[in-house]
């Protein structure tokens, strides 16, 4: 018998303020039509003044606990993926731990930008498989609206705020791919590409800075690397794309999502798409899409899901799991 990390709860939170593409037409040389046709984005949510990433994360965490029928102290750990933690330290994860009333275990952040949730899942899986934790809350949460340069039409129209959370539990099973849980992980990074997607501030500059992106270059890497990492994750699990029920991609650009599905030989009917409603929420996009997919009755227990993401670093990766 093997211990596998099985999803037992899911939830999400989106801030109340919904911002349509037309909002940007009033102060930028842009149009709803351009944003929609180049990215697939129609609207996004922005956090309220004073509402930090940890606040969004805690609300998603509470929703996941309710979905699982658990109390915060039933958790052993929180792994939170974010690049927009409220403060330099402490971690957003420990703030969430406090906010949800969890007074035991441990909590930490993972920073792998848009690939953050895949990295966090990998960390949580390792904690469970190694026996260090039995139940782990995995959260992706971001407030990218706080690092936008509102004069840069090439970036500020693309991103949004939100949070999603999963609860993983150690469950014994036979080790077959038909059993539930995380089946395989593929992680990659290449620091040579730091300059095509980064934030120009931080501890070194003593200010928070703004997101800078060479969109076309990132697009090229995304199309090349996402299908490859997803196929590697499937291969590691002993599966192929024919076994996939749902691709749950990082939601950056509908054109990237479609190109990746095409490369994998999968129809768009097998892809969860939320980019039109959320924009690019970086590390929050995959758990948001999973939670929305479950709420819409698309994702069902036993489905084979492949997540894939790429972002600043560059960092990219994929997780294959049986829901
Ligand atoms: O989540 C992390 C990973 N990030 C991504 O995966 C994002 C990857 N990149 C992309 O999604 C796309 O590259 C973008 C959506 C950012 C841009 O789409 P694109 O088709 O690559 O457009 P482009 O950057 O080549 O720009 C085309 C034109 C340019 O004008 P010229 O040089 O052709 O005259 C831009 O200046 O569109 C212009 N442009 C805009 N026009 C209206 C750029 N932003 C805008 C805008 N509105 N907001």
Distance 20 CA to ligand 1 centre (A): 18
Q: What is the mean pLDDT of residues 3-18?
A: 97
CA 294 and chain centroid, separation:
15
Distance 38 CA to ligand 1 centre (A): 7
Q: What is the mean pLDDT of residues 206-223?
A: 97
Under CATH, which architecture does the 3-172 domain have? Answer: 3-Layer(aba) Sandwich (3.40)
pLDDT of residue 1: 66
Confidence of residue 173 (pLDDT cuts 50, 70, 90): confident
What the block records as the tokens of 87 is: 């403060």
Query: Which residues are designated catalytic?
Result: 114, 250, 280
d(CA 277, CA 251): 10
Question: Atom 8 of ligand 1 has which residue's CA nearest to it?
Answer: 219
What Å distances lie between residue 66 and 14, 30, 69, 182, CA to CA? 17, 41, 5, 22
**CATH code 3.30.70.600 for 181-322:** no
Q: Is the pLDDT of residue 201 over 70?
A: yes
pLDDT of residue 92: 98
Q: Where does residue 306 fall: left (phi above 0), alpha (psi -120 to 50 degrees), or beta otherwise?
A: beta
Distance 67 CA to ligand 1 centre (A): 38
Confidence of residue 62 (pLDDT cuts 50, 70, 90): very high
Domain ranges of the chain: 3-172, 181-322
* 3-172 shares its CATH topology with 181-322: yes
Give the pocket of ligand 1 (CB within 6 Å).
Answer: 30, 34-35, 38-39, 114, 153-154, 157, 215-216, 218-219, 222, 252-253, 256, 280, 310-311
Residues shown for the chain: 323
pLDDT of residue 25: 97
- Helical H segments across 238-321, by residue range: 254-263, 275-278, 285-295
pTM score, two decimals? 0.97
What the block records as the tokens of 318 is: 């994929």
Question: Atom 36 of ligand 1 has which residue's CA nearest to it?
Answer: 154
The predicted-structure confidence for 71-93, as pLDDT tens digits, reads as follows: 999 999 999 999 999 999 999 99
């Amino acid at each position: 018998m093997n211990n596998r990390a099985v999803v037992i709860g899911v939830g999400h939170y989106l801030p109340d303020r919904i911002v349509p593409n037309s909002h940007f037409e009033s102060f930028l040389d842009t149009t709803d039509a351009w944003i929609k046709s180049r990215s697939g984005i129609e609207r996004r949510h922005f956090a309220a003044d004073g509402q930090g990433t940890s606040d969004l994360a805690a609300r998603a965490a509470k929703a996941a606990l309710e979905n699982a029928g658990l109390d915060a102290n039933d958790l052993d750990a929180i792994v939170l993926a974010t690049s927009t933690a409220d403060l330099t330290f402490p971690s957003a994860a420990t703030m969430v731990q406090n906010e949800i009333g969890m007074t035991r275990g441990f909590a930490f952040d993972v920073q792998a930008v848009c690939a953050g949730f895949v990295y966090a899942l990998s960390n949580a899986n390792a904690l469970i498989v190694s026996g260090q934790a039995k139940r782990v809350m995995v959260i992706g949460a971001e407030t990218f609206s706080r690092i936008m340069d509102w004069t840069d039409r090439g970036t500020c129209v693309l991103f949004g705020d939100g949070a999603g959370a999963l609860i993983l539990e150690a469950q014994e099973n036979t080790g077959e791919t038909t059993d539930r849980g995380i089946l395989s992980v593929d992680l990659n990074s290449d620091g040579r590409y730091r300059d095509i997607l980064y934030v120009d501030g931080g501890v070194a500059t003593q200010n928070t800075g703004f997101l800078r992106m060479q969109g076309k270059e990132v697009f090229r890497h995304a199309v090349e690397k996402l299908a490859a990492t997803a196929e590697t994750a499937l291969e590691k699990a002993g599966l192929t794309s024919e076994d996939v029920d749902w691709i749950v991609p990082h939601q950056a650009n509908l054109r990237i999502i479609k190109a990746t599905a095409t490369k994998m030989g999968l129809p768009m009917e097998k892809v969860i798409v939320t980019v039109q409603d959320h924009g690019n929420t970086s590390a929050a996009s995959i758990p948001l899409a999973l939670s929305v997919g479950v709420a819409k009755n698309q994702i069902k227990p036993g489905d084979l899901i492949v997540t894939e993401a790429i972002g600043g670093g560059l960092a990219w990766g994929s997780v294959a799991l049986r829901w």
